[in-house]
Structure 1
Amino acid sequence: MPRSTRPTVVLVHGAFADASSYARVIPELIAAGLEVVAPAVPNRGLVDDAAYIASVIRAIDGPVILVGHSYGGAVITLAGAEDNVRALVYLAGYALEEGESLGELQGRFPDSGLAEALVFTPFPVADSAGTAAATGTAAATGTDVSVAVDRFPALFAADVDPGLAAVLAVSQRPLAARAFTEAAPVAAWRSKPSWGLVATDDRTINPDVERFGYRRAGMTTVEVDSSHLVMLARPEAVAELIQEAVRSTAR
């Protein structure tokens, strides 16, 4: 198959994680003959993060199957509007409607327990000249959100190897707080075929948040008995769903 017609799977990680959260899925996809890209999401804000992922997508020669986990689902809801995106796959993710924020979607349902485990930390923001606040020349600060280290394994990775969960807890990639309040300017699922995976033992996102977003979008949906980090807990199920999207859009 010519390179320009062979799909590339772009794996977008969520908040409090990085691309290594796909470490057990990537070998499955490569073994299936798929090209894979797993970029680092800046986690600085929904619109900015989506713009970055969109730039990654535009640099790919050929069709893209765009996959997003958790907050990454919100990111692909925007970035998936790129012309070469053929399908969207949500993994325990937020499928936002146009004009909706993460906080608004989450607020429709009882909290999962994540909110009480969040830690808020100020960070320096560069001024308009690009000078870091850490130099003492810029007063602006932002707020990073992470999960209390001692709460992370139970909330995120209850069915992941405890040693690995402990490593993930201390190597989190925080999310800027403004990402929770930014409204989605577009909902790519309105024009792209979409698949959704519900992690039924998710203690980070209420599974009903996932179900609601997927149902509203008319997605093909599967439910998997897994913690929030379904890619590490159930990599075969995740890889199969992605390959189903690849097969369906190739027909």
Structure 2
Amino acid sequence: MNVHTRLRALAAAAVFATLGAHAHAADAGPSVVIVHGAFADGSDWARVIPLLQAKGVKVTAVQNPLTSLADDVAATRRAIDSQPGKVVLVGHSWGGTVITEAGQHDKVGSLVYVAAFAPEAGKSTAETGEGYPAAPGSKRFVADREGYLTLPEAAMREDFAQDVPAVQAAVMTATQGPIQSKAFADKVTVAAWKTRASWFIVSNRDRMIDPGLQRAMAKKIGARTTELAASHVPQQSRPADVAKVILDAVAATRQGS
């Protein structure tokens, strides 16, 4: 084979490889990108992720820096960018504020809020809770000299995750991500739930976000709502129920794509 023939063969192979990659991306079902909340990291979803993977769903858990809304949105967008096709974007707690902004990404087909904030455009997380009772756990934050907030082990056990074994709550305390308190005042610039189908899991035993506020947000955004008798972390205490809601969103997004 002469040089010119070899070059033509290599060029043809490159074209076929590119076409194959595009076909694979088009055929791939929606992937799931999960955004954890404050006082947590990606391991907070360790009980749900295997249930999704067992159904053949590609899952990516974002590791939020928890330094600001902009930083967490940037981390989430990087994760979305790396997906082969459509994305079901899941947010827990503070992560709901993050997906409200990051969910405007072209690849995002639907949103799943899990005991989460869903601010209106131009509103912050703190403003979203105005007019509702302060949840018991929100009174137990501990701030360091730089304004980063953590939860002591007793608060994690009694208010954040009161329906999981104590040993599990102790691990959650050790792996929690401190959040910069100023982040709660950062305002979202868009509300992706206005243009994306949404699902919402309300935790009716939540001691971190008032359940009445959760119901009001779910109604406002027109979400398909599931209510669970769970703490603030149903992904830890009711993983099968949470996985089912996410899989429903995956199926709906696949049909709509």
Q: Same-fold call, TM > 0.5?
A: yes
Instruction: Please provide the CA RMSD for this pair.
Output: 1.2
Match of 1:219 in 2: 223
Alignment of 1:126-141 (within 5 A): none
Amino acid at match of 1:213: M
Q: Which residue of 2 aligns with 1:104?
A: 127
- Does structure 1 retain, via aligned residues, the 8 Å contact 2:62–2:75? no
SS in structure 1 at match of 2:244: helix
CA distance in 2, matches of 1:38, 1:146: 21
Greater per-residue helix proportion: 2
Residue 247 (1) aligns with residue 251 (2): yes
User: Amino acid of the residue matched to residue 72 of structure 2?
Assistant: D
Are 1:2 and 2:6 counterparts? no
Note the C-alpha offset of 1:29.
0.1
Letter of the structure 2 residue corresponding to residue 237 of structure 1: D
Match of 1:130 in 2: none
Shift of 1:170: 3.0
Residue number among 163, 169, 173 corresponding to 2:167 in the alignment: 163
Task: Report the count of equivalent residues.
Answer: 232
**SS of 2:145 mapped into structure 1:** strand
Q: Secondary structure of 2:139's match? A: helix
CA shift at 1:116, angstroms?
Answer: 1.7
User: How far apart, CA to CA, are the structure 1 residues paired with 2:138 and 2:215?
Assistant: 20
- Tell me whether 81-90 or 40-49 shows the greater mean CA deviation: 40-49
TM-score by length of 2: 0.87
The question of 1:189 aligning with 2:193 is answered yes
- Letter of the 1:217 counterpart: I
Q: How far, CA to CA, are the matches of 2:110 and 2:38 in structure 1?
A: 22
Counterparts of 1:48 and 1:212 in 2: how far apart (Å)?
28
1:17-52 superposed Cα distances (whole Å, 9 cap, x missing partner): 011111110110000110010120110111221122
Counterparts of 1:172 and 1:247, CA distance in 2 = 32
Q: Who is 1:78 aligned against?
A: 101
Does residue 207 of the first structure (1) align with residue 221 of the second (2)? no
State the shift of 1:95 in Å. 0.6
Q: Which residue of 2 aligns with 1:58?
A: 81
In 2: Cα distance, 1:70 partner to 1:86 partner:
20
Is 1:198 aligned with 2:202? yes
Q: For 2:125, give the aligned amino acid.
A: L
- Stretches of structure 1 that go unaligned for 5 or more consecutive residues are 124-142
Question: 2: distance between equivalents of 1:152 and 1:17?
Answer: 11
Alpha-carbon separation, structure 1, partners of 2:70 and 2:227: 29
Alignment-mate amino acid for residue 239 of structure 2: P
Deviation, structure 1 residue 84 = 0.4
TM-superposed CA distance for 1:115, in Å, is 2.6
Match of 1:147 in 2: 151
- Is the Cα contact below 8 Å between 1:47 and 1:184 reproduced in 2? no
Shift of 1:151: 1.6
Letter in 2 for 1:197: I
| Residue 208 (structure 1) shift | 1.4
Question: In 2, distance between residues paired with 1:198 and 1:168?
Answer: 21
| Shift in Å, 1:122 | 2.2
Aligned residue type for 1:104: E
Give, as a single letter, the amino acid of the residue that structure 2 aligns with 1:181. A
Is the contact between residue 137 and residue 160 of structure 2 (CA under 8 Å) also seen in structure 1? no
Alignment deviations for residues 156-213 of structure 1 (CA, whole Å, 9 cap, x no partner): 1111111110121233211101111111111000111000000111011111121111
Q: Which amino acid aligns with 1:44?
A: T
Alignment match, 1:94: 117
How many Å separate the matches in 1 of 2:218 and 2:77? 22
Could you say what secondary structure the match of 1:151 adopts?
A: helix
1:174 match? 178
Which runs of at least 4 in structure 1 moved beyond 3 Å after TM superposition? Answer: 1-5
